[in-house]
Amino acid sequence: MSSTTTRNLSHIVPLDFNSIHTLPDSHTWDSSTDHHPFTELVPIIDLLNPNAASLIQLASEQWGVFQVTNHGIPMNLIQEAELQARGLFELSRDQKLQALRSPVPESLTGYGRARISANFSKLMWSESFTMIGSPLEHAAQLWPDDHSVQTYFCNVMEEYQKKMKGLCVKLIRLMLGSLGLDHEDVKWLNRPKKSGRNFPQVLQLNSYPVCPDPTRAMGLAPHTDSSIFTVLNQSNVSGLQVFEDGIGWVPVHPIPGALVVNVGDLMHILSNGRFKAAVHRAVVNELYHRISIAYFYSPPYDVKISPPMKLIDQDHPPLYRPVTWKEYLGIKGTHFNRALDLIRNDTDQAPYMHE
């Protein structure tokens, strides 16, 4: 890739982190890693617990984030996905740029900076690789001369996505069940798996390289996810933090074998505000290269998301107007943390019936 092209794509091209020994001004944040000195414990929920649904409800309402154990994802698959992700990010910068994500807003897949980067004046100390389904096209760009590496990488990532989708089906049932809902109340969950309008689930590999000045850098800036929810494998290096009102930034410490679940904006809408969209961020360190893998569970692009009628009554009018994921992504891409406010109903005049 030419230097001219790289300059034109500077808003999506990460640094060559291996060649940086001092934190550049472009990546220097003010008081980026301050957090409350007391350690609060994010809920840890055993999915085999008969009370898992009620525990998930409580965690979703109070925290918007929780960790799950006994989730059914094989540990050897999780470890292999981490290994493959680390191998990808350890490629040379020139190799990674061969799979650079397209600069058009609609483009989701490929290598680049975090998509939320455009909403901040400072850049983040991280890089990512995103895929929907098979990453074969990008794998061929990353390893053009090694077909076996391409194939193995794709096989691992496709199997990981398959297992994550199964876990998400279990989680959505528990979350809806805790609100007294089932698949008949959320019609889009009943769509045939092989219909032309399938669920566009997104898998993202994240890399947070060793940082020369982590107290002034930011791995991933504060935000909420746009998804229904996100299932995160944060490996064994701390970095994820969640913001809690009255407390501040609380670290979500890695638990061996556990996965983190972040409630997203669309679940906040679907639950009519009962479930809290988790404001979270990632910090970096000067000793360890941190890897995480995020699976974003979302509805079909064209389905209007709104709270089911069972959650609506005279005392609980719909807080938000119906919105498709595709529409909401556009609103959030433009307005970022004001997106939910912009689709919020005037609750004094909100209708009690909706389509």
The span from the CA of 158 to the CA of 145, in Å, is 21
In the chain, the number of structural domains is 1
Whether 33 maps to a domain, the answer reads: no
Instruction: Please give the helix or strand (H or E) that residue 341 lies within, else none.
Output: helix 339-342
Furthest C-alpha separation in the chain: 64
Neighbours of 233 (CB within 10 A): 21
Cross-strand partners of 250: 242
**Rounded to a whole number, what is the distance in angstroms from the first to the last CA of the chain?**
49
Whether 332 maps to a domain, the answer reads: no
Q: Are 292 and 311 in contact (CB under 8 A)?
A: no
If you write DSSP's letter for every residue of 5-21 in order, what string do you get? HHHHTTTTPPP-GGG--
Written as tens digits, the pLDDT of the chain (355 aa) is 444 344 345 567 888 998 888 999 999 998 655 545 556 689 999 999 999 999 999 999 999 999 999 999 999 999 999 999 999 999 999 999 999 998 776 678 999 998 898 899 999 999 999 999 999 999 999 999 999 999 999 999 999 999 999 999 999 999 999 999 988 888 888 766 554 456 678 999 999 999 999 999 999 999 999 999 999 999 899 999 999 988 889 999 999 999 999 999 999 999 999 999 999 999 999 999 999 999 999 998 889 999 999 999 999 999 999 999 889 999 998 999 999 999 999 744 444 433 3
Residue environment code for 21-41, b if the CB has 16+ CB neighbours within 10 A, otherwise e = eebeeebebeebbebeeeeee
If you write DSSP's letter for every residue of 80-135 in order, what string do you get? HHHHHHHHHHTS-HHHHHTTBPPSSTT---EEES-GGGGG-SS--S-EEEEESS--
The residues annotated with a catalytic role in the active site are 290
Whether 28 maps to a domain, the answer reads: no
Whether 24 maps to a domain, the answer reads: no
* Domain interval for residue 170: 39-302
If you write DSSP's letter for every residue of 51-69 in order, what string do you get? THHHHHHHHHHHTSEEEEE
User: In the 8-state DSSP scheme, what is residue 22?
Assistant: S
Whether 296 maps to a domain, the answer reads: yes
Whether 29 maps to a domain, the answer reads: no
Whether 259 maps to a domain, the answer reads: yes
Single out the residue of 90, 299, 129 nearest to residue 201, CA to CA: 299
CATH number at residue 234: 2.60.120.330
Whether 163 maps to a domain, the answer reads: yes
